[in-house]
Chains A and B, each alone.
Chain A
Amino acid sequence: MSLPKNIFGARAAILGGLAILTAPFLWTRLDPDFATGFVSLRLVPENGIQFLSVVVPAALVALAIAGLGRLWARYGSSKPLFETASHRLFESPRAMAATFAALAAAGFVMRGKALSLGTFVCIHMMLAIGLNVTIGFTGLLVLGYAAFYATGAYTFAIAAHALPVLPTWAALPLGFTVAAGVGFLVGLPCLRLRGDYLAIVTLGFAEALREILRNLSVTGGDMGLVVPMQARIKAIGPVGQGHASWIAAVGVTLLVALFVHRLYHSRIGRAWIAIREDETAAAMMGIPVVRLKLLAFTVSAGLAGTAGAFFAGFAGFVDPSTATFEQSVLILAMVILGGIGSLPGSILGAALLYLAPTLLRDWFPAISDYRLFFFGCILVAMMLFRPQGLCGSPRHKLELEGAS
């Protein structure tokens, strides 16, 4: 691919074009006058100001994180900062225990709303880590990842209705197993083919699943299902429901990250990366490519199911909105923002992309209308300026910069 010599000019042109295209929506409004039938164009700055008030701080935070990584690279060590930190954390049980204890203790100084926000951030971290297994490690694009999230959530809600004795902790293995099974069946036909069939098939699967969930009586239709009290995360002794949820969320997220870290640093993880780098050469090295792709996708789907079942146990209800395309795009944006193929990147991306819109929604309520637009801008900007993501896994960096 040959880009123009002046790369900055090309980037500026694309951003400028985006700005011109979107300007009318951000700064103006059509006002119909029902008495006269005329429609008048009015200049309204609020939307634009709200939009910028999200984009500018988010860009600053992103720049700060990227700058930190770059500073570290220049003055610290030859190894990337976030990768090194996460590797140390997940290689040492003591560090993991200390992190868990610190985060769990931090829950006692957080108030109710912060606790529930933190729990949701953890759920999205699990999702981003899970999606990274297929997109980042194995190089397979998945566009309907939220379908497996919904599978896990509904599985647990339905199972809790059917089996009143089902304990809360059963959510995790149950969500994992069922979503992994569904992922296996979805992946089986399309992973035998080369190319991005998986992206299209999962996209279609997610849309179909959402319609099915909306129309079956067992899933409660549009209303969704309420999870019976006995299966929800409850207060334990002096620890309130909010705190219990937060501590469980931190614990499960750490376990999920450890699980993926250990797979990544094993022959399975190396085989996944080999498949991403060169499928033919990987096969020639004795790697059963189809089987390992299927394994990656199954694990990925299972982790989404775990997150979904946890969500059901925490929120106490599930509805078809868990399987929306917007949810899939949100998770994808987290992975890309953090850095494709980077475990700490997924964690960071999930935290940023969940917190930024939510916190700013409290300050500017109308901003939720711009969520999708906001993700789109982030993805375009990331692809232009930092294609390797914030944490920039070194494995992906040069490939995307077109070094070869």
Chain B
Amino acid sequence: MTPVLKATGVSKAFGGLKAVSAVSIESHAGQILSIIGPNGAGKTTFFNCLSGIYPLDSGTVELGGGRIDGLAPHLVSRAGLSRSFQNIRLFPEMTALQNVQVGRFARSPRQILGTILRTRAWRDRERASLERSEELLAFVGLGDRADSWARALPYGLQRRLEVARALATDPKVLLLDEPGAGMNPQEIVEMMALVKSIAKLGVAVVVIEHHMKLVMEISDRIVVLDHGEPIAEGSPDEIRRDPRVVEAYLGRSEEPHG
């Protein structure tokens, strides 16, 4: 099976600091790939490289056969890669529904004249975008909070809203940067169920997560980064037994996280 997202030898340095060096991943439709590693291992930098926020120093990123490295973020998004952010980056002064509708931007056609004249075609498309956005809100469990201001939502729901907004761009690949950060155990379990259901839709999901127990439960494959370098890759069972991983990550504390 050909991977949807294929990153090969991605490297990024800030001055003398090699934040990411020669990381390669393959992400398949309907599967969940987790990227783990200690704090400062370069996981978020790697996401920023994939999504076009940082230009790459070297390496290539292919999405569905086409190169997306070197593209601006909005073109990466159009190509079919969407993401959430580690520190929530919603549009706070818009409603939940409007946040999701913003995600539909690139998937609704350009119609400046239609917008001003409110032609029938424009209204039909606006309604279609609205319905799709409402659907997505319901999918992440925010169906009854459509008109709440994004800033007024509780933290856990803001994370869910970010996922809905990312899904609104119709992504082939979804990058989730610590979707469970700052949540209580119950919320984390629910979030991971949501991540699984997104993968079931046929989206290739790449997750950065710290919660080891859940990572082991939901992932199809795991990549471990340390100091920007990939030190192991494999199925959850392989990773659990890998001595380098234990040394770099799990072995640091007396008890593993979770």
Chain A residues with CB under 8 Å of chain B are: 259, 262-263, 266-268, 270-271, 273-274, 277-278, 280-289, 394-396, 398-399, 403-404
**Roughly how many angstroms separate A286 CA and B103 CA in the complex, as a whole number?**
7
Cβ proximity bits B161-179 to A, threshold 8 Å, 1 near / 0 not: 0000100110000000000
Pick from A266, A268, A273, A285: contact of B93, CB under 8 Å: A273
The answer to whether B91 touches A273 (Cβ under 8 A) is yes
Q: Contact at A266–B83, with CB atoms within 8 Å?
A: no
Q: Which residue of B lies closest to A78 (CB)?
A: B147
User: Are A266 and B115 in contact, with the CB atoms below 8 A?
Assistant: yes
Tell me the nearest residue of chain A to B94, going by C-beta. Answer: A273
Closest to A268 in B: B115
B18 adjacent to chain A (CB < 8 Å) = no
B105 touches A263 (CB 8 A): no
In the complex, what distance in Å separates the CA atom of A250 from the CA atom of B205?
Answer: 55
Task: Considering the complex, give the chain A residue whose CB is closest to the CB of B116.
Answer: A262
Chain B interface, number of residues (Cβ within 8 angstroms): 38
- Would you call A278 and B91 a contact (CB within 8 A)? yes
Binding site for A on B (CB under 8 A): 51, 53, 72-74, 76-78, 82-83, 85, 89-94, 98, 101-108, 112, 115-116, 118, 122, 126, 129, 149, 151, 165, 168-169
Say what secondary structure dominates the interface of chain A: helix
Question: Closest CB-CB distance, B128 to chain A, in whole Å?
Answer: 12
Cβ-defined contact, A282 with B151, below 8 A: no
Task: Give chain B residues whose Cβ lies under 8 Å from the Cβ of A274.
Answer: 91, 94, 102, 105
Bound-complex Cα distance A268 to B125 (A): 13
Cβ-closest chain B residue relative to A263:
B115
- Residue pairs across A and B with Cβ atoms less than 8 A apart, 16 shown, are A262-B115, A267-B126, A267-B129, A270-B94, A274-B91, A274-B102, A281-B85, A282-B91, A284-B82, A285-B77, A287-B105, A288-B72, A288-B74, A396-B93, A398-B93, A404-B92
Given contacts A262-B116, A285-B165, A289-B74, contact A404 B151 (CB under 8 A): yes
Instruction: Give which listed residue, A262, A285, A404, contacts B105 with CB less than 8 A.
Output: A285
Q: Closest CB of chain B to A384's CB: distance in Å?
A: 21
Bound CA–CA A369/B169 (angstroms): 55
Task: Decide if B116 touches A284 in the complex (CB within 8 Å).
Answer: no
Q: Give Cα distance in the complex from A398 to B94, angstroms.
A: 12
**A283 to chain B: closest residue by CB:** B73
Give min CB distance, B95 to chain A, whole Å: 10
* Assembly CA distance A280 to B94 (angstroms): 16
A259 to B118, CA, bound (A): 10
Residues of A within 8 A of B91 (CB): 273-274, 277-278, 281-282
Contact across chains for B101 and A281 when beta carbons are under 8 A apart: no
CA distance A262 to B122 in the complex (A): 12
Give the residue among A273, A284, A398 with the most B Cβ atoms within 10 A: A284
Q: Would B53 and A280 count as touching, CB distance under 8 A?
A: yes
Nearest CB in chain B: distance from A197 CB, A: 19
User: For B78, B91, B103, B107, which residue has the most chain A Cβ atoms within 10 angstroms?
Assistant: B91
Chain A residue, CB-CB nearest to B72: A283
Given A267-B108, A404-B92: A285 and B116 interface contact (C-beta under 8 Å): no
CB distance from A394 to the nearest CB of B (A): 7
Contact partners of B101 in chain A: CB under 8 A? 267, 270
A281-B90 in contact given A270-B101, A287-B105 (Cβ < 8 Å): yes
Closest chain-B Cβ to A137's Cβ sits at a distance in Å of 11
Give bound CA distance, A394 to B74, whole Å.
28
Chain B residues in 8 Å Cβ range of A283:
72-74, 77
B145 to chain A, nearest CB (A): 15
Contacts of B165 on A, CB cut-off 8 Å? 285
Q: Contacts A270-B94, A270-B101, A404-B151 given: A286-B106 contact, CB under 8 Å? A: yes
Q: Are A277 and B73 in contact (CB under 8 A)?
A: no
Given the known interface contacts A286-B77, A286-B78, the answer about A262 and B90 at a Cβ–Cβ threshold of 8 Å is no
Q: Which residues of A contact B168 (CB under 8 A)?
A: 285
Taking the closest CB of chain B, its distance from the CB of A399, in whole angstroms, is 6
* Chain A residues with CB below 8 A from B108, complex form: 267
Contact check, B92 vs A277: say whether CB atoms are below 8 A apart.
yes
How far in angstroms is the closest Cβ of chain B from A88?
Answer: 16
Contact A280 B74 (CB under 8 A): no
Which residue of B has the minimal Cβ distance to A289? B74
Least CB distance, A214 to chain B, in whole angstroms: 36
Give, as a whole number of angstroms, the nearest-CB distance from A289 to chain B: 7
* A271–B73 touching, CB < 8 Å: no
Contacts of B90 in A (CB 8 A): 277-278, 281
Q: How far is the CB of A381 from chain B (nearest CB, A)?
A: 24
Determine the distance from Cα of A289 to Cα of B51 in the docked complex, in whole angstroms. Answer: 15
Complex interface: chain B residues within 8 A of A273 (CB): 91, 93-94, 98
Cα A268 to Cα B101 with chains together (Å): 11
B89 to chain A, nearest CB (A): 4
The reply to whether A270 and B93 form a contact with Cβ atoms under 8 Å apart is no
Residues of chain B lying within 8 A (CB to CB) of residue A278: 89-91
Chain B nearest CB from A258 CB (Å) reads: 9
Give 19 new A-B contacts, CB below 8 A, not counting A278-B91, A280-B89.
Answer: A263-B116, A266-B126, A267-B101, A268-B115, A273-B93, A273-B94, A274-B105, A277-B92, A280-B53, A281-B89, A282-B91, A283-B73, A284-B74, A284-B83, A285-B82, A285-B102, A285-B106, A286-B105, A399-B93
A217 to B122, CA, bound (A): 47
- How far is A256 from B97 in the complex, measured between Cα atoms in Å? 27
Q: Once the chains are docked, how many angstroms separate the CA of A262 from the CA of B118?
A: 8
Which B residues are CB-close (under 8 A) to A267?
101, 104-105, 108, 115, 126, 129
